[in-house]
Amino acid sequence: MQSRFTWINGAMVETSQATVPFLTAGFHYGVAIFEGIRAYQTPRGLGVFRLREHMRRFEDSCRIVGFRELPHTVDEMMEVVRATVRANGFGDCYIRPLVWLADGGWNLTLDTGKPHVAVTVWEESVYLGQRSPEQGLKACVSSFTRHHPNAMMTKAKVSGNYANSIMAKTEAQRNGFDEAILLDPQGYVAECTGANLFVVRNGRLITPPADAILEGITRDTVRALAGDLGIPVQESQLSRDHLYVVDEVFVCGTAAEIVGVSSVDGRPIGAGVTGPITRVLREAYQSVVRGAHPRSEAWIALV
Ligand SMILES: Cc1ncc(COP(=O)(O)O)c(C=O)c1O
Protein backbone atom coordinates (compact mmCIF):
# COMPACT_ATOMS: atom_id res chain seq x y z
CA MET A 1 0.00 0.00 0.00
CA GLN A 2 1.66 3.12 -1.23
CA SER A 3 0.26 6.62 -1.72
CA ARG A 4 2.14 9.66 -3.01
CA PHE A 5 -0.35 12.52 -2.98
CA THR A 6 -3.47 13.24 -0.99
CA TRP A 7 -6.03 15.97 -1.57
CA ILE A 8 -7.04 17.37 1.81
CA ASN A 9 -9.50 20.22 2.33
CA GLY A 10 -8.74 21.73 -1.05
CA ALA A 11 -4.97 21.23 -1.29
CA MET A 12 -2.98 18.45 -2.99
CA VAL A 13 -0.11 17.58 -0.62
CA GLU A 14 2.39 14.78 -0.16
CA THR A 15 0.60 12.00 1.70
CA SER A 16 3.02 12.28 4.64
CA GLN A 17 1.79 15.89 5.08
CA ALA A 18 -1.90 14.93 5.06
CA THR A 19 -2.25 14.74 8.83
CA VAL A 20 -5.17 15.17 11.21
CA PRO A 21 -4.76 16.65 14.73
CA PHE A 22 -5.12 14.20 17.62
CA LEU A 23 -7.98 16.35 18.93
CA THR A 24 -10.41 15.60 16.14
CA ALA A 25 -13.88 14.43 17.16
CA GLY A 26 -14.36 12.21 14.09
CA PHE A 27 -11.29 10.22 15.10
CA HIS A 28 -12.40 9.84 18.73
CA TYR A 29 -16.00 8.87 17.96
CA GLY A 30 -15.73 7.06 14.63
CA VAL A 31 -17.71 9.77 12.83
CA ALA A 32 -16.29 9.61 9.35
CA ILE A 33 -17.68 8.47 6.05
CA PHE A 34 -15.67 6.86 3.33
CA GLU A 35 -15.78 5.27 -0.09
CA GLY A 36 -13.65 2.59 -1.68
CA ILE A 37 -13.27 2.90 -5.43
CA ARG A 38 -11.03 1.22 -7.98
CA ALA A 39 -9.44 2.50 -11.15
CA TYR A 40 -8.29 0.07 -13.83
CA GLN A 41 -6.13 0.30 -16.90
CA THR A 42 -8.32 0.12 -19.99
CA PRO A 43 -7.47 0.35 -23.71
CA ARG A 44 -8.61 4.01 -23.57
CA GLY A 45 -6.52 4.90 -20.50
CA LEU A 46 -6.98 4.68 -16.76
CA GLY A 47 -10.68 4.56 -15.86
CA VAL A 48 -12.51 4.82 -12.54
CA PHE A 49 -15.23 2.21 -12.24
CA ARG A 50 -18.71 3.56 -11.41
CA LEU A 51 -17.32 6.80 -10.01
CA ARG A 52 -20.63 8.68 -10.02
CA GLU A 53 -22.42 5.91 -8.11
CA HIS A 54 -19.66 5.88 -5.48
CA MET A 55 -19.72 9.63 -5.02
CA ARG A 56 -23.52 9.61 -4.79
CA ARG A 57 -23.32 7.00 -2.07
CA PHE A 58 -20.67 9.15 -0.34
CA GLU A 59 -23.12 12.07 -0.31
CA ASP A 60 -26.00 9.82 0.77
CA SER A 61 -23.90 8.43 3.63
CA CYS A 62 -23.15 11.98 4.83
CA ARG A 63 -26.86 12.83 4.78
CA ILE A 64 -27.81 9.63 6.58
CA VAL A 65 -25.35 10.45 9.36
CA GLY A 66 -26.82 13.96 9.49
CA PHE A 67 -24.30 16.38 8.01
CA ARG A 68 -26.42 19.31 6.83
CA GLU A 69 -23.95 20.97 4.54
CA LEU A 70 -21.24 19.32 2.55
CA PRO A 71 -18.35 21.32 1.23
CA HIS A 72 -18.56 19.80 -2.28
CA THR A 73 -21.12 18.50 -4.75
CA VAL A 74 -21.00 15.04 -6.29
CA ASP A 75 -19.63 16.51 -9.53
CA GLU A 76 -16.92 18.44 -7.68
CA MET A 77 -15.92 15.33 -5.74
CA MET A 78 -15.72 13.34 -8.98
CA GLU A 79 -13.29 15.94 -10.29
CA VAL A 80 -11.24 15.80 -7.07
CA VAL A 81 -11.02 12.02 -7.39
CA ARG A 82 -9.82 12.29 -10.99
CA ALA A 83 -7.23 14.94 -10.06
CA THR A 84 -5.91 12.84 -7.16
CA VAL A 85 -5.61 9.75 -9.34
CA ARG A 86 -3.74 11.76 -11.97
CA ALA A 87 -1.41 13.27 -9.35
CA ASN A 88 -0.41 9.84 -8.05
CA GLY A 89 0.38 8.51 -11.51
CA PHE A 90 -0.34 4.88 -10.64
CA GLY A 91 -1.79 2.22 -12.94
CA ASP A 92 -4.52 0.09 -11.33
CA CYS A 93 -5.25 1.71 -8.00
CA TYR A 94 -7.64 2.02 -5.08
CA ILE A 95 -9.18 5.37 -4.21
CA ARG A 96 -10.27 6.42 -0.73
CA PRO A 97 -12.42 9.54 -0.23
CA LEU A 98 -13.14 10.35 3.45
CA VAL A 99 -15.23 12.97 5.26
CA TRP A 100 -14.76 13.38 8.99
CA LEU A 101 -16.09 15.49 11.85
CA ALA A 102 -13.58 18.19 12.74
CA ASP A 103 -13.39 21.72 14.16
CA GLY A 104 -15.59 20.83 17.14
CA GLY A 105 -18.21 18.18 17.65
CA TRP A 106 -16.96 17.37 21.14
CA ASN A 107 -20.42 17.64 22.65
CA LEU A 108 -21.54 14.75 20.45
CA THR A 109 -23.42 16.76 17.87
CA LEU A 110 -22.50 17.32 14.26
CA ASP A 111 -23.66 20.91 14.40
CA THR A 112 -20.80 22.19 16.52
CA GLY A 113 -18.21 20.83 14.10
CA LYS A 114 -17.49 20.82 10.38
CA PRO A 115 -17.02 18.15 7.75
CA HIS A 116 -13.43 17.96 6.53
CA VAL A 117 -12.71 16.06 3.32
CA ALA A 118 -9.76 14.18 1.85
CA VAL A 119 -9.11 11.83 -1.04
CA THR A 120 -6.13 9.57 -1.36
CA VAL A 121 -5.04 6.83 -3.74
CA TRP A 122 -2.92 3.78 -3.22
CA GLU A 123 -1.49 1.05 -5.33
CA GLU A 124 -3.75 -1.88 -4.80
CA SER A 125 -2.72 -5.14 -3.26
CA VAL A 126 -4.98 -8.19 -3.23
CA TYR A 127 -7.74 -7.70 -0.66
CA LEU A 128 -9.43 -11.09 -0.59
CA GLY A 129 -8.45 -14.23 -2.42
CA GLN A 130 -4.78 -14.35 -1.45
CA ARG A 131 -5.22 -18.01 -2.23
CA SER A 132 -5.84 -18.52 -5.95
CA PRO A 133 -9.21 -17.37 -7.33
CA GLU A 134 -9.98 -20.98 -8.24
CA GLN A 135 -9.52 -22.14 -4.67
CA GLY A 136 -12.02 -19.75 -3.13
CA LEU A 137 -12.32 -18.53 0.45
CA LYS A 138 -12.83 -20.50 3.62
CA ALA A 139 -15.64 -18.61 5.33
CA CYS A 140 -17.35 -18.96 8.69
CA VAL A 141 -20.54 -17.57 10.13
CA SER A 142 -19.46 -14.95 12.63
CA SER A 143 -20.32 -14.93 16.30
CA PHE A 144 -20.80 -11.16 15.84
CA THR A 145 -24.12 -9.83 14.47
CA ARG A 146 -24.38 -7.19 11.73
CA HIS A 147 -25.77 -3.87 12.92
CA HIS A 148 -29.49 -3.35 13.29
CA PRO A 149 -30.27 -0.67 10.69
CA ASN A 150 -31.81 1.53 13.35
CA ALA A 151 -28.61 1.47 15.37
CA MET A 152 -25.79 2.01 12.92
CA MET A 153 -27.36 2.84 9.54
CA THR A 154 -26.08 0.08 7.33
CA LYS A 155 -26.74 2.04 4.10
CA ALA A 156 -24.13 4.57 5.17
CA LYS A 157 -20.47 3.72 4.80
CA VAL A 158 -19.59 5.08 8.23
CA SER A 159 -16.13 4.39 9.61
CA GLY A 160 -17.51 3.48 13.05
CA ASN A 161 -19.53 0.64 11.47
CA TYR A 162 -16.28 -1.07 10.63
CA ALA A 163 -15.37 -1.83 14.24
CA ASN A 164 -17.97 -4.59 13.84
CA SER A 165 -16.29 -5.79 10.63
CA ILE A 166 -12.83 -5.70 12.17
CA MET A 167 -13.88 -7.74 15.21
CA ALA A 168 -15.62 -10.30 12.99
CA LYS A 169 -12.74 -10.66 10.54
CA THR A 170 -10.10 -10.82 13.27
CA GLU A 171 -12.03 -13.57 15.00
CA ALA A 172 -12.48 -15.46 11.70
CA GLN A 173 -8.80 -15.29 10.81
CA ARG A 174 -7.64 -16.21 14.31
CA ASN A 175 -9.85 -19.29 13.95
CA GLY A 176 -8.20 -20.21 10.63
CA PHE A 177 -10.83 -18.87 8.19
CA ASP A 178 -10.33 -16.26 5.47
CA GLU A 179 -13.54 -14.31 5.90
CA ALA A 180 -16.59 -13.94 8.16
CA ILE A 181 -20.23 -13.98 7.09
CA LEU A 182 -22.38 -11.88 9.39
CA LEU A 183 -26.03 -12.56 10.18
CA ASP A 184 -28.51 -9.73 10.71
CA PRO A 185 -30.25 -9.17 14.08
CA GLN A 186 -33.07 -11.52 12.97
CA GLY A 187 -30.54 -14.28 12.32
CA TYR A 188 -30.60 -14.19 8.50
CA VAL A 189 -27.52 -13.86 6.31
CA ALA A 190 -26.53 -10.22 5.85
CA GLU A 191 -23.10 -9.74 4.28
CA CYS A 192 -19.38 -10.17 4.83
CA THR A 193 -17.06 -7.78 6.63
CA GLY A 194 -16.41 -5.67 3.52
CA ALA A 195 -18.38 -7.34 0.75
CA ASN A 196 -21.88 -8.50 -0.18
CA LEU A 197 -22.83 -12.12 -0.61
CA PHE A 198 -24.62 -14.15 -3.30
CA VAL A 199 -25.49 -17.82 -3.47
CA VAL A 200 -26.30 -19.90 -6.53
CA ARG A 201 -29.01 -22.50 -6.23
CA ASN A 202 -30.42 -24.43 -9.21
CA GLY A 203 -28.94 -21.93 -11.65
CA ARG A 204 -30.48 -18.91 -9.87
CA LEU A 205 -28.61 -16.15 -8.01
CA ILE A 206 -29.97 -15.23 -4.60
CA THR A 207 -28.77 -12.32 -2.49
CA PRO A 208 -30.11 -11.03 0.84
CA PRO A 209 -32.46 -8.03 0.71
CA ALA A 210 -31.01 -4.57 1.23
CA ASP A 211 -32.46 -4.16 4.76
CA ALA A 212 -29.36 -4.73 6.89
CA ILE A 213 -26.52 -4.44 4.41
CA LEU A 214 -24.49 -1.86 2.58
CA GLU A 215 -26.06 -1.65 -0.88
CA GLY A 216 -22.94 -2.55 -2.77
CA ILE A 217 -22.22 -1.09 -6.15
CA THR A 218 -20.59 -4.39 -7.15
CA ARG A 219 -23.78 -6.16 -6.03
CA ASP A 220 -25.65 -3.96 -8.47
CA THR A 221 -23.07 -4.65 -11.19
CA VAL A 222 -23.37 -8.41 -10.61
CA ARG A 223 -27.15 -8.24 -10.94
CA ALA A 224 -26.85 -6.39 -14.24
CA LEU A 225 -24.21 -8.76 -15.62
CA ALA A 226 -26.21 -11.80 -14.53
CA GLY A 227 -29.26 -10.35 -16.30
CA ASP A 228 -27.23 -9.94 -19.48
CA LEU A 229 -26.14 -13.57 -19.22
CA GLY A 230 -29.71 -14.79 -18.72
CA ILE A 231 -29.04 -15.89 -15.12
CA PRO A 232 -32.12 -15.18 -12.97
CA VAL A 233 -31.48 -13.09 -9.82
CA GLN A 234 -33.66 -12.73 -6.77
CA GLU A 235 -33.44 -11.01 -3.41
CA SER A 236 -34.58 -13.15 -0.53
CA GLN A 237 -33.79 -13.96 3.04
CA LEU A 238 -31.17 -16.66 3.40
CA SER A 239 -30.72 -18.66 6.54
CA ARG A 240 -27.44 -20.05 7.78
CA ASP A 241 -28.37 -23.58 6.71
CA HIS A 242 -29.07 -22.36 3.15
CA LEU A 243 -25.36 -21.58 2.97
CA TYR A 244 -24.56 -25.22 3.68
CA VAL A 245 -26.71 -26.65 0.86
CA VAL A 246 -26.45 -24.23 -2.06
CA ASP A 247 -24.41 -24.97 -5.19
CA GLU A 248 -22.14 -21.91 -5.00
CA VAL A 249 -21.42 -18.97 -2.71
CA PHE A 250 -19.47 -15.88 -3.69
CA VAL A 251 -18.73 -12.50 -2.21
CA CYS A 252 -18.43 -9.25 -4.11
CA GLY A 253 -17.25 -5.73 -3.48
CA THR A 254 -15.10 -3.05 -5.03
CA ALA A 255 -11.98 -4.21 -3.19
CA ALA A 256 -12.83 -7.93 -3.24
CA GLU A 257 -14.20 -7.90 -6.81
CA ILE A 258 -15.86 -11.36 -7.16
CA VAL A 259 -14.42 -14.20 -5.10
CA GLY A 260 -15.81 -17.68 -4.70
CA VAL A 261 -16.33 -19.28 -1.29
CA SER A 262 -15.13 -22.86 -1.09
CA SER A 263 -16.47 -23.74 2.34
CA VAL A 264 -18.65 -22.31 5.10
CA ASP A 265 -18.06 -23.44 8.67
CA GLY A 266 -15.92 -26.27 7.34
CA ARG A 267 -18.68 -27.60 5.04
CA PRO A 268 -17.58 -27.64 1.38
CA ILE A 269 -19.76 -25.67 -1.03
CA GLY A 270 -20.43 -27.56 -4.27
CA ALA A 271 -17.18 -29.16 -5.39
CA GLY A 272 -15.25 -27.16 -2.76
CA VAL A 273 -13.73 -24.78 -5.31
CA THR A 274 -14.98 -21.64 -7.06
CA GLY A 275 -18.15 -22.67 -8.91
CA PRO A 276 -18.92 -22.35 -12.65
CA ILE A 277 -21.45 -19.50 -12.42
CA THR A 278 -19.11 -17.56 -10.12
CA ARG A 279 -16.33 -18.05 -12.69
CA VAL A 280 -18.50 -16.74 -15.54
CA LEU A 281 -19.47 -13.68 -13.50
CA ARG A 282 -15.84 -13.07 -12.50
CA GLU A 283 -14.84 -13.05 -16.15
CA ALA A 284 -17.69 -10.71 -17.11
CA TYR A 285 -16.72 -8.40 -14.22
CA GLN A 286 -13.06 -8.32 -15.27
CA SER A 287 -14.11 -7.56 -18.83
CA VAL A 288 -16.41 -4.71 -17.78
CA VAL A 289 -13.91 -3.00 -15.43
CA ARG A 290 -11.14 -3.33 -18.03
CA GLY A 291 -13.19 -1.56 -20.70
CA ALA A 292 -13.84 -4.61 -22.88
CA HIS A 293 -17.58 -5.09 -22.30
CA PRO A 294 -20.61 -3.41 -23.92
CA ARG A 295 -21.50 -1.90 -20.52
CA SER A 296 -17.99 -0.54 -19.90
CA GLU A 297 -18.48 2.83 -21.52
CA ALA A 298 -21.43 3.78 -19.32
CA TRP A 299 -19.64 2.70 -16.15
CA ILE A 300 -16.08 3.92 -16.62
CA ALA A 301 -14.97 7.52 -16.01
CA LEU A 302 -11.64 8.08 -17.71
CA VAL A 303 -9.21 10.13 -15.66
C1 LIG B 1 -19.79 -3.88 4.61
C2 LIG B 1 -19.69 -3.84 3.14
N3 LIG B 1 -20.62 -4.45 2.39
C4 LIG B 1 -20.56 -4.46 1.05
C5 LIG B 1 -19.54 -3.82 0.38
C6 LIG B 1 -19.49 -3.82 -1.12
O7 LIG B 1 -19.78 -2.55 -1.61
P8 LIG B 1 -19.22 -2.07 -3.01
O9 LIG B 1 -19.55 -3.13 -3.98
O10 LIG B 1 -19.97 -0.82 -3.28
O11 LIG B 1 -17.77 -1.87 -2.86
C12 LIG B 1 -18.54 -3.17 1.12
C13 LIG B 1 -17.43 -2.50 0.43
O14 LIG B 1 -17.42 -1.34 0.31
C15 LIG B 1 -18.63 -3.17 2.51
O16 LIG B 1 -17.70 -2.55 3.25
Please indicate whether residue 253, judged by its CB atom, sits closer than 6 Å to ligand 1: yes
The answer, yes or no, to whether any atom of ligand 1 lies below 6 A from the CB of 191, is: yes
Give percent helix, percent strand, percent coil of the chain, each to the nearest 5: 30, 30, 40
| CATH class, 5-123 region | alpha beta
Count of alpha carbons within 13 Å of 303, Cβ hemisphere only? 26
Q: Whose CA is nearest to atom 1 of ligand 1?
A: 194
How far apart (Å, rounded) are the C-alpha atoms in residues 74 and 50?
Answer: 13
pTM metric for this prediction: 0.97
Whether 214 lines ligand 1, by a CB cut-off of 6 Å, is yes
Of 157, 158, 180, 182, the C-alpha closest to 169 is 180
pLDDT at 58: 98
How confident is the prediction along the chain (303 residues), in pLDDT tens digits per residue? 789 999 999 999 999 999 999 999 999 999 999 999 999 999 999 999 999 999 999 999 999 999 998 889 999 999 999 999 999 999 999 999 999 999 999 999 999 999 999 999 999 766 776 557 789 999 999 999 999 999 999 999 999 999 999 999 999 999 999 999 999 999 999 999 999 999 999 999 999 999 999 999 999 999 999 999 999 999 999 999 999 999 999 999 999 999 999 999 999 999 999 999 999 999 999 999 999 999 999 999 999
> For residue 239, what are the CA distances in angstroms to 151, 208, 230?
22, 10, 26
CB-count exposure of residue 130 (10 Å: 0-12, 13-18, 19+):
exposed
For atom 5 of ligand 1, the residue with the nearest CA is: 195
Give the residue numbers annotated as catalytic, written as ranges: 157
The CA distance from 43 to 34, in Å, is 29
Residue 201 is predicted with a pLDDT of 98
Summary count for the chain: helices (H), strands (E): 8, 17
Taking the domains of the chain in order of start, what are their residue ranges? 5-123, 137-289
| Å from CA of 112 to ligand 1 middle | 30
| pLDDT of 136 | 95
Is the CATH code 2.60.40.1120 the one for domain 137-289? no
Whole-number pLDDT of residue 129: 62
Ligand 1 atom closest to 54 (CA): 10
Q: Which residues of 193-214 are buried (b: 16+ CB within 10 A; e: fewer)?
A: bbbbbbbbeeeebbbbeebbbb
For 59, which DSSP code?
A: H
The span from the CA of 129 to the CA of 253, in Å, is 12
What per-residue confidence (pLDDT) applies to 125?
67
Question: Residue 50 has what pLDDT?
Answer: 98
Q: What residue owns the CA closest to ligand 1's atom 3?
A: 195
Count of residues making up the chain: 303
* C-alpha 218 to ligand 1 mean position (Å): 8
CA-nearest residue for atom 7, ligand 1, is 216
**Distance, CA 73 to ligand 1 centroid (Å)?**
22
* Confidence (pLDDT) at 257: 95
Specify the pLDDT at position 303.
Answer: 96
Residue 161 Cβ inside 6 Å of ligand 1? The answer reads no
